[in-house]
Amino acid sequence: MMNAILFRCGLIGILFLGGPGQTAPTAQEILERADRNAVAGSRIAVSEMIIHGRRDSRSISAKSWVQGEDKSFTEYLAPAREKGIKMLKLGDQLWTYSPDTDRTISISGHMLRQSVMGSDLSYEDMMEDHSLVDLYHAEVAGEEIVLDRPCWILSLTSKGGDVAYASRKIWVDKERYVLLKEERYAKSGKLLKRLEVKSVVRIQNRWIQNSLVFKDALKTGQGTEFKIQTIEFDATIPDYIFSKASLRK
């Protein structure tokens, strides 16, 4: 699921090069290309989440199985307290299983706004599975260099549906169409979340943001770091993985 977080944030890029002499794409085209890069088939990944709290930092690692936009299954591997906790997302439903209680609980309603494992990410952030182009109007707000890469700055405004953030600002790599920075705003214009990519690597002919910091602007602390340790694309994932029964296994 942690890895799914990276994907839901639109943080996987497939190498995508625009040819020389092409005219500058429109905001809509940039967003569509960034969206297309965000999700790719199936993947199995082991990732690490380092939560920098006000008091100390702690690390949580997890293995995720992801199929498209709708299905994901995560098992937490460490630390000992979190080991064995599992999460299953099927469409707009989310369940969590705790081995200590041997209970499977559906996460819904206001629980979706709670922090995932104490990180700066909420379950609602995890549940985002629609492409940005479906939810937001886009316009180019400028250009900027991020991570030594020229980027377009897109200003996204909600089309009015049920979205967690009324507006967003995203920085998209001009060549790779990889999202390198993002800010998420409330309807009032207040900054709620900030995301900064720290490094991008190329794996299996895809550009992947393998390290990023996600920060809840309303929380104190230094934010949450996400790091991908291993990732395998287009892996075969048995169907039973994405079932409630697999939570108890």
Residue ranges that bind another protein, judged by CB under 8 A: 51, 53-55, 58, 60, 81-82, 85, 96, 98, 100-106, 111, 114-119
Dig out the tokens for 126 from the structure.
């995890």
**What is the Cα–Cα distance from 52 to 35, expressed in whole angstroms?**
29
Name the minimum Å distance from CB 58 to another protein: 6
Which residue, 87 or 132, is less far from another protein as judged by CB?
A: 87
Phi, psi dihedral angles at 173 (to 5 degrees)? -55, 130
Closest CB 33 distance from another protein, rounded Å: 36
Q: What is the residue type of 7? A: F
* Residue 47 CB, nearest approach to another protein (Å): 16
Task: For another protein, give the closer residue by CB, 78 or 201.
Answer: 78
Instruction: Choose between 69 and 82: whose C-beta lies nearer to another protein.
Output: 82
CA distance 243 to 229: 25
Amino acid of residue 137: H
C-beta of 123 vs 152, nearer to another protein: 123
Read off φ and ψ for residue 40, nearest 5 degrees. -145, 110
Q: Which is nearer to another protein, 67 or 115 (CB)?
A: 115
Least distance from another protein to the Cβ atom of residue 49, Å: 11
Token pair for 45: 């990944």
Q: Give the shortest CB-16-to-another protein separation in angstroms.
A: 37
Query: First and final CA of the chain: distance in angstroms?
Result: 17
Burial (0-12, 13-18, 19+ Cβ within 10 Å), 131: middle
